[in-house]
A and B are shown apart, each in its own frame.
Chain A
Amino acid sequence: MTKDERPVIRGLATGVAGLDKILGGGLPEYSFNLVAGGPGSGKTTLAHQIVFANATPAKPALYFTVLGEPTLKMLRYQRQFSFFDTKVAGAAVKFINLTEEVSAGDLTKVLEKIVEEVERTKPGIVVVDSFRTIVSKLNGSENTSLFGLDRFIQRLALHLTSWEVTSFLLGEYSEEEQRNPVFTVADGVFWLSQATDRNSVVRKIQIVKVRGRAPMPGLHTFRITNDGVEIFPRIPEQTNTRVSQKRNRQSTGIPGLDEMTRGGVVSGDAVMLTGPAGSGKSTVATQFMVAGLKAGEAGVIAVFEEYPEDYLARAEARDADIGRMIRSGKLELIYLRPLDLSVDEALHEILKAVNRVKAKRVVIDSLSGFEVALAPTFREDFRESLYRLVGTLTATGVTVFMTAEVVEGFSDVRFTAERVSFITDELIIQRYIEMAGELQRVMAVIKMRGSDHSHELRTYEITPKGVTVGPALTRYDGIMTGVPSLRLNAAPGQRTDIVKAKPSVRPAKPAAAKRRK
């Protein structure tokens, strides 16, 4: 036999955002699945969402409820979700209460009732909520020991599969109970959990197994909103491939900075701008975005430190066009500040926005705010998570411009507070220096992978119209110490072209210099 006659296992679209992806391509049709997790972990919502995405009058869904959450209350709460379509519920979803059969304490009767309803309805999907209640109610009863739980589960699984039903058993299981026969028989095991860390709660899902598929490993965060469960896959597909593109230059919108970068930042690069508070990082980031918009490149700004309205008001004060850009759909401003955020969720939101507006530029303002917005559990591996986020975003071809706040003393030079400069292709720093008793701002391009760039330290000013870069401080030494001194061989006349903005620069005392000599 030369022809490949393996049966094709079709993937059922679950209707749950992100779930098909972590399952390795949808749910195997006619599989027998266990959805396990503690109370409130989202099992019932997940099951309803799958049911409503797949039930049709021709292939309806059967939803068996047992003791535990009363059906009436379940319906009352579940119908708050946007996916709960009353028309579908009326025509294609049938809720059946098994309380009486379970109360009788006879597994045979429970099985018979399920089989009877399946044969009568010929459903495409069957849910038993909660299967754990059936088992705990029957445990220890004479009938259970005679019939055997293993055998019951096997017969149920076989029966449902032979009727070409994709089924879900929901149950409150703990991780120690994985030796339970239901875990062995199940084709798929979805584990839902809620991790509490300090004051934040993070929901996670793990696909423990899916027969016939290669699920995405690891714990994936998810959120339950009015639209139901939304899963944020841990390893986005995009990390494996990268959009190939020409390394064009993109203007930063600041002529002086474009000079320093030899024509602008490189498209598709991850650029980081670091500096202390008030150094103008957000201003530069906004100018970078506006320059792109004016060149016809759509963009996304993710803000973490201030409300979008405030951010927009400040940005519009400098450039009135920015609000118009948002209204025209060229720019999307997204606000991510829930304090229980996961990096994967942030990435997901940014990617969605990138795809919506077909962005070429993304601004993340700032990494410091982003780190604070994360649930504590994700702050521990912030560097690794950021590495994935940046890698995934740049793989799509967008240029990512990030800002990061550094806390520095005048003699302490650090390129980034988060020690994440290694993930960037281009690094620009801003800092304060003291000249003649006044604070001055300087910036420098530290690195540009695969590209030449200026090595100058240049002063800059923040004006009502944005950042303006001044000339290089070529006549000064010790700028990075924060307290520069004029070179001894600098001609007196050269002083004024050094710092035009602040002409009162005090040169080093000639007498002291002589003494040192």
Chain B
Amino acid sequence: MATAQVTARELAKRLVDRETSTGASKTTRASAAALAGEGLYRALSRWIGSDGCHALFTRARAQEQPANRALESLQLSPRHDPYITGVEESIEEYGNDATADALESMIVGMIELLGRLIGVDMATSLIERSLSEFAQDNSGSEKRRAKA
């Protein structure tokens, strides 16, 4: 993407990897991807509002669903905690890798969509800063992980 030449996929991967590296050994790729999506939703909602953020995720899911059937089992619930539900069911039905790929695709789609709307550089900057502040404020994934 523009500022740091980071693509949406690289940024999404970085978010998922962060959840994987900070999580316990039992953290699966799918649950890490779900936590990354959850964190992205929470952090960005503070900037663009939960409705705005949900609209982007909904569009991204609709866009990615034909190629990722695992997304069919996932639900997005605005103003609810957790935001992404149905991860376990998806893993059971489609497997860990398919669910992880589907979630990651949805995050990529969401970042790309945000980039198209407000500019790639702005979107990258917004996401990186949001996640950093969100992590500082809430001890980041630790709390979410505990909940999960």
Contact = CB atoms under 8 A, between A and B. Distances in A.
Interface string A83-98: 0001101110011110
A99 B50 contact: yes
B117 interface: yes
A89 B46 contact: no
B125 interface: yes
B117 A72 contact: yes
A75 B122 contact: yes
B52 A97 contact: yes
A90 B47 CA distance: 12
A95 B119 contact: no
Contact of B52 (A71, A79, A86, A90): A71
Given A86-B122, A89-B125, A90-B125, A100 B79 contact: yes
Nearest to A71: B48
A76 interface: yes
Contact of B118 (A75, A87, A97, A100): A75
B7 interface: no
> Chain A interface secondary structure, helix, strand, loop or mixed?
helix
Interface residues of A, number: 18
B125 A97 contact: no
A97 B122 contact: no
A502 B114 CA distance: 77
A515 to B, nearest CB: 90
A89 B118 CA distance: 12
A96 B52 contact: no
A130 B52 CA distance: 17
Contacts of B138: none
Given A86-B3, A90-B129, A97 B49 contact: yes
Nearest to A98: B49
A65 interface: yes
A79 B117 CA distance: 10
A70 interface: yes
A456 B45 CA distance: 80
DSSP class of B's interface residues: helix, strand, loop or mixed? helix
Contacts of B51: 70, 99
Given A86-B3, A90-B3, A90-B126, A97 B48 contact: yes
Contacts of A96: 46-47
Contacts of A100: 49-50, 79
B142 interface: no
B50 A71 contact: no
A90 B114 CA distance: 15
A91 B126 CA distance: 9
B45 A97 contact: yes
A76 B49 contact: no
B50 to A, nearest CB: 7
B48 A90 contact: no
B122 A70 contact: no
B49 A79 contact: no
Nearest to A63: B47
A95 B118 CA distance: 13
B121 interface: yes
Interface string B109-130: 0000010011101100110110
B116 to A, nearest CB: 9
Interface in B81-127: 114, 117-119, 121-122, 125-126
B75 to A, nearest CB: 20
A70 B49 contact: yes
A409 B111 CA distance: 72
Contacts of A90: 3, 121-122, 125-126, 128-129
B85 to A, nearest CB: 20
Given A86-B119, A90-B3, A100-B79, A72 B125 contact: no
B118 to A, nearest CB: 5
Given A95-B47, A96-B46, A100-B79, A89 B52 contact: no
30 contacts: A65-B49, A70-B49, A70-B51, A72-B49, A72-B55, A72-B114, A75-B117, A75-B122, A76-B117, A76-B118, A79-B118, A79-B119, A79-B122, A86-B119, A86-B121, A86-B122, A86-B125, A87-B3, A89-B122, A90-B121, A90-B128, A91-B125, A95-B47, A96-B47, A97-B46, A97-B47, A97-B52, A99-B50, A99-B51, A100-B49
Interface of A: 65, 70-72, 75-76, 79, 86-87, 89-91, 94-97, 99-100
Given A75-B122, A87-B125, 12 more contacts: A65-B49, A72-B55, A72-B118, A79-B118, A86-B3, A86-B122, A87-B3, A89-B122, A89-B126, A96-B46, A97-B48, A100-B79
